[in-house]
A and B are shown apart, each in its own frame.
Chain A
Amino acid sequence: MAIATIPAGLRDILPPEAGELRAIEGSLRDTFSAFGYGEVVVPSFEYYDSLATETGERFRRQMFKFFDQDGRIVALRPELTTPIARLAAQRLRESELPLRLYYSQNVFRQQPPQRGQQREFKQAGVELIGEAGAAADAEIVTMMVESLSRCGLQRFKIGVGQIGFVQGIIDELDDKVSKDEIREALLAKDLVRLTALTEDLGEAGKALRSLSNLRGEAVFDEASKFATNARSTEALSNLSKIISLVGAAGLSDWVVPDLGIVRNFDYYTGAIFEGFAEGLGFPLSGGGRYDTLTATFGWPQPATGFQHGVERLHIALSLENSVSAVPQSPTLITGTQNKDVLFAVAASLRAAGLSTRMTFADSSAEDARKKAAELGCIVVFADASGTAAVFSPGGDSSRGVALDQVAGAVEKFSVQLGAAL
């Protein structure tokens, strides 16, 4: 039989990587909890129609779809915000607003597999539903920063934009102008095409061409010259408040106002966020305000949120050499002909909080000593004599240890090893 394989774009995750990803996930969850968010878990697959509301063409194409027993089309979730909007409209209408929900689940997309972009990957993020206004968006931004810092990431930036600013400028354009083409050029990051489309559009054209330069501290002064209508002006005011509140939280160093950020025009209605890590060629995190989504499920509510790509965060941390170390090697007990002793001693070690691995092959004290050096972990040898020998990888040993003293002996060596590291 040929060696078993799995479909492209999917992968098995093995130790220690799985442990590292869990640790990262744990830090993110701790941050979300610290902000008072509660976890929700949504199903792996739902009706395609629920998932396809308001999401872009790209997600619709990329969803893994199949049929259930009743012949209805179901699909694996490509992201979490839409299912959670559905969940909120369905189950949480009577709850006290705003809803503060967090998640950490896998999503599925039929996209070309590459580093940091598999077909199945984990997103960890939050949704704040039922709260309009800059303070809510500022809360989201502070969570983005604090969650990344808590994971140990140091060199990153969160860009905060406001889609209302550019929408306002586009609104002012003459109806003859192809606004859709301008939006397409902005989304495609095609500044050459944008220049061609806006050359003859006067100040508005200049504003559109300047978008990617409207970032940083001076942005509010610069941009206000281009804000000719209420929509753009309010957007700037909103962005300014968000940045100011983030400053009050002491997080300005990681946050950049950036009017050049442009994301799905139909979906986002206000502030938009993008997170980048140094050395990572693609975005780490994304989000924004999406006030029209829950309405498609019959319960109109303002909403804002963000998510991190957990695998991408792992890559970013690796690039910084900041991945949390895998826990120390567990104590290993080598077997004797008397397996009763083996099990009893292992249980006593675990009860003392010491992670322990048993081996069942018959062995000797001499073998145990060699194994300790070879594997770099403490090895306990328990034989029929009623006492045990404990070997440290550094060469120290204790012999003739009473069985009820083994845990203590192991702990002593553990502390020594910890100090040496």
Chain B
Amino acid sequence: MKLKIALSKGELYKNSLKIFSSAGCDVSELSGDDSRKLIYRIESDEIEYLVCRPTDVPVYVENGAADLGIVGKDVLMESAKNVYEVLDLGFGGCRFVLAEPENGHELAERSYTHLGHIRIATKYPHVTEEYFSDKGMQVEVIKLHGNVELAPLVGLAEQIVDLASSGRTLRDNKLRIVETIAECTARLIANPASMKMKYERINELTGRIHSAILQ
């Protein structure tokens, strides 16, 4: 019974391969550097690996086009897809943070309390809306596609919600972390129907991956 596994290109790719390798899967074919291949069929393991953009992994898994997937918790939180979040794989650590310009706190406070309006620039509108709505705050969420640190520096927004790992990009742009919203690592996700219909295979593989992580 074949399993289809969607892997995230980019940051998580190498560590994903390491985990599968430690779990006893043959991923030698996928380790070549410049391959443009999108599908790797490993007959010996009865696994098909799909190489996807990180934001697309939950889409493939939710629809059942992939049984399993490896994706960052940040992508998962933003996409809010109906999938099983099976394991925390431990690597790819980063966090969602709320940040503002170093001396921008007063401006942010004033905008919200006085004018009743604060603007948050972000690549992650869903996470941002959830975060503020949990706090009972109504904010204007400005969706950007990248270099979000620029926004508060030129008056587009008072604060930003962004993904940080070392925090250097924020510091370099004279932004200060106000609060950590969530810690994110790579996760193994599964399609709910596959979990039921291919239960034994998935359970066996996740067991091996779990052991590999614990080492």
Please list the residues of chain A having a beta carbon within 8 angstroms of any beta carbon in chain B.
Answer: 114-115, 157, 159, 188-193, 195, 212-213, 215-216, 256, 258, 274, 276, 278-283
Q: Is B64 within 8 A of A280, CB to CB?
A: yes
Kindly supply a per-residue 1/0 record for chain B positions 174-200, scoring 1 wherever the CB is within 8 Å of any chain A CB and 0 otherwise: 000000000000010001111111010
- Shortest beta-carbon distance from B25 to chain A in Å: 21
Q: Is residue B62 contacting chain A, with contact meaning CB distance below 8 A?
A: yes
The interface-forming segment of B81-89, B119-127, B137-145 is B81-89
Q: Is A190 within 8 A of B85, CB to CB?
A: yes
Across-interface contacts of B62 in A (CB, < 8 A): 281
Across-interface contacts of B191 in A (CB, < 8 A): 281
Across-interface contacts of A281 in B (CB, < 8 A): 62-65, 191, 193-194
- 6 more contacts with CB within 8 A, not counting A115-B63, A189-B192, A195-B88, are A188-B85, A191-B85, A191-B86, A192-B86, A193-B85, A276-B197
Among B86, B187, B192, B197, point to the contact of A157 (Cβ < 8 A): B197
Across-interface contacts of A159 in B (CB, < 8 A): 196
Q: Is residue B203 contacting chain A, with contact meaning CB distance below 8 A?
A: yes
Across-interface contacts of B196 in A (CB, < 8 A): 157, 159, 256, 258, 274, 276
Report the separation of the CA atoms of residues A189 and B85 in the bound assembly, to the nearest whole angstrom. Answer: 6
Q: Is B63 within 8 A of A215, CB to CB?
A: no
Known: A191-B84, A191-B87, A193-B85. A283 touches B199 (CB 8 A): no
- Shortest beta-carbon distance from A111 to chain B in Å: 11
Report the separation of the CA atoms of residues A276 and B64 in the bound assembly, to the nearest whole angstrom. Answer: 12
Report the separation of the CA atoms of residues A195 and B196 in the bound assembly, to the nearest whole angstrom. Answer: 20
Contact residues of B between 79 and 106, Cβ < 8 Å to A: 82-88
Q: Which partner residue on chain A sits nearest B64 by CB separation?
A: A281
Q: Which partner residue on chain B sits nearest A155 by CB separation?
A: B197
Q: Is A282 within 8 A of B85, CB to CB?
A: no
Q: Number of B interface residues, CB 8 Å?
A: 21
Report the separation of the CA atoms of residues A188 and B83 in the bound assembly, to the nearest whole angstrom. Answer: 8
Report the separation of the CA atoms of residues A148 and B131 in the bound assembly, to the nearest whole angstrom. Answer: 43
Report the separation of the CA atoms of residues A274 and B193 in the bound assembly, to the nearest whole angstrom. Answer: 10
Q: Which partner residue on chain A sits nearest B63 by CB separation?
A: A281
Q: Is B88 within 8 A of A215, CB to CB?
A: no
Across-interface contacts of B64 in A (CB, < 8 A): 279-282
Across-interface contacts of B203 in A (CB, < 8 A): 213
Q: Is A282 within 8 A of B193, CB to CB?
A: yes
Known: A189-B83, A192-B187, A213-B203. A283 touches B193 (CB 8 A): yes
- Shortest beta-carbon distance from B19 to chain A in Å: 15
Report the separation of the CA atoms of residues A192 and B82 in the bound assembly, to the nearest whole angstrom. Answer: 15
- Shortest beta-carbon distance from B71 to chain A in Å: 12
Across-interface contacts of B192 in A (CB, < 8 A): 189, 282-283
Q: Is A189 within 8 A of B193, CB to CB?
A: no
- Shortest beta-carbon distance from B208 to chain A in Å: 15
Q: Which partner residue on chain A sits nearest B84 by CB separation?
A: A189
Across-interface contacts of B194 in A (CB, < 8 A): 281
Q: Which partner residue on chain A sits nearest B187 by CB separation?
A: A192
Q: Which partner residue on chain A sits nearest B1 by CB separation?
A: A278
- Shortest beta-carbon distance from B204 to chain A in Å: 11
Across-interface contacts of B187 in A (CB, < 8 A): 192
- Shortest beta-carbon distance from A317 to chain B in Å: 16
Known: A192-B187, A213-B203, A215-B199. A280 touches B85 (CB 8 A): no
Q: Which 4 A-B pairs have the closest CB atoms?
A: A281-B64, A189-B84, A190-B85, A192-B88
Q: Which partner residue on chain B sits nearest A282 by CB separation?
A: B193
Across-interface contacts of B193 in A (CB, < 8 A): 276, 280-283
Q: Which partner residue on chain A sits nearest B200 by CB separation?
A: A216
Report the separation of the CA atoms of residues A215 and B197 in the bound assembly, to the nearest whole angstrom. Answer: 12
Across-interface contacts of A280 in B (CB, < 8 A): 64, 193
Report the separation of the CA atoms of residues A189 and B76 in the bound assembly, to the nearest whole angstrom. Answer: 12
The listed residue with most A CB atoms (<10 A of its CB), out of B83, B191, B193, B199, is B193
